[in-house]
Amino acid sequence: MYISLFVDVEDCGTPASDDVAGDVAEILSDRGLVANLMVVGDKARILERRGRHDVIAALRRHEVGLHSDRHSRHPTVAEYLEDKRWHDGIAEAIRREGPGVPVLERVFGKRPTCWGQPGGSWGPQVHPAVRGLGIPAVVYPETCTPRSDVHWYGGTLTFGYRHVFGGFDTLYSDDEPFQRHFKAFQATVDEYLEQDLPWMGLFLGHPIYIRAYEFGDVLNLRHGQETPLERWRQPPLKPEDEYRTALRNLDTLVGYVAAHPRLEAITVGMLSQQVGRAADRVSPDDLRDYAAAASGGRDLPTDDPRVSPAEAVDVLARAILARREGLQPRSLPLRHVDGPTATPQGEESEIAVSWGAFCDRCAQVESFIDRTGGLPAEVEWGETRAGIGSFYRAACEVYSVLSPRQVPSEIVLRPGPQIPAIADAIAQGTERGYRGWVIHKRDLNVRDLLELTRLQTWTLKPATFKRHAKSGTTRGE
């Protein structure tokens, strides 16, 4: 099983946390492991300003991700996206997160391989924004497919948090609770191996929590509070003996990973290269198999690696239009398509239309995708509107029965789900993160963010690895 190791390097106001980040990086390097060090843009600036070239050198031996540009500083990610819709939210995320990319390049000499959600602060617009910034992956969100944490969402490779084991960083300095949690981790590894899970994450912690009893961000930025660094309340630090105990227990944990014969430690950047780009073509036979399977159910399937539901609408519409013109392409090009940006209302009763009218609506859908890059919420039929979910199911049914000699005389659009079923669980987990993160301002309004989160589940599909994990461990240089 692949396992990725994560460390969040973020506290800017507590100088002692700089040393911890360096110590953690060296422990990992001594074990021959390369971790994903999720560095906040502001933290990189602070390390550079403080002249901590020793810490920077230790961190540079690992893979670096952008843990947002400003993390807990207000406005946080969710706060700056709360009043934005889809396209203006993408532009705002690019504007806010973009400055962190050249900072990490300058300080560490490498581009970030991923963007990591800070705390419970996230928005679906981040995924296309990150892609636009040239960052190949997103980590830590609540998104997932029914059977995979490694997936595509918003057209961006994403590593969800469902199978990331954490909770160690406040326990390292106390042997007894650490050992209990360590045994729970070992049991979880055994369970995931038994399930033949391809990937899991191990969150090693926040350096500040390894060294201090409290988190400086919570003391100074709680519920919208904004404290300048020069007036930063310093968290109480643990005694030196507790800190040494913490480092010893951390070494025990990573030593277990390094020695485990069935775990292969791999970074997000390595996995991104292995997954590669999303497929750019689909064969008519594969599309027909997909359409036949999808037309037999009510849900919008998000567990097929060939196409997301949004991509399926696009390629099915083009395939049906090609059939109208008498064409039989050997393969069909795929492009990323966003989900709708407004909630489809759907129809209350069945709508029966002719083959010609359905083809006209396929052209209407294609025109909308060409203009906006995403799906329409609804398709018009005179004075009647059908939700895009109903159009999707009808397109699947049509394509599954098309032949070179025959087309259906009548096509029926039936009421049904307009958003993938998994959207509910993803939105609920996301809302828990919004409400549970103490940094957020008290009056944060997440209604629109949750709606867009649900709508963009149209873009979900599992990622596929070019090879499975081998015995042994991927080691650093």
Q: What is the pTM of this model?
A: 0.95
Assigned fold of 2-276+425-462 = TIM Barrel (3.20.20)
Q: Is the pLDDT of residue 351 over 60?
A: yes
pLDDT digits (tens, 9 = 90+) for 162-210: 999 999 999 999 999 999 999 999 999 999 999 999 999 999 999 999 9
Distance CA 477, CA 475 (A): 7
> How many Å apart are CA 169 and CA 323, to the nearest integer?
59
What CA–CA distance (Å, rounded) separates 164 from 170?
Answer: 17
N- to C-terminal Cα distance for the chain?
Answer: 21
Sequence ranges of the chain with CATH classification 3.20.20.370: 2-276+425-462
Question: Are 332 and 318 a contacting pair, CB within 8 Å?
Answer: yes
Give the count of beta carbons closer than 10 Å to the beta carbon of residue 170: 17
**So what's the pLDDT on residue 91?**
99
- Smallest Cα–Cα separation from 3: which of 377, 259, 216? 259
User: How do strand 410-413 and strand 264-265 relate by DSSP bridges?
Assistant: unpaired
For residue 389, the surrounding DSSP H or E stretch is helix 388-401
Residues recorded for the chain: 477
Residue type, 154: G
CB 388 within 8 A of CB 340: yes
216 pLDDT band, cuts 50/70/90, is very high
DSSP state at residue 279: P
27-79 residue pLDDT tens: 999 999 999 999 999 999 999 999 999 999 999 999 999 999 999 999 999 99
Pairwise CA distance, residues 434 & 293, whole Å: 36
Rg (alpha carbons) of the chain, rounded to whole number: 24
pLDDT of residue 470: 65
* Average pLDDT score over residue span 453-459: 99
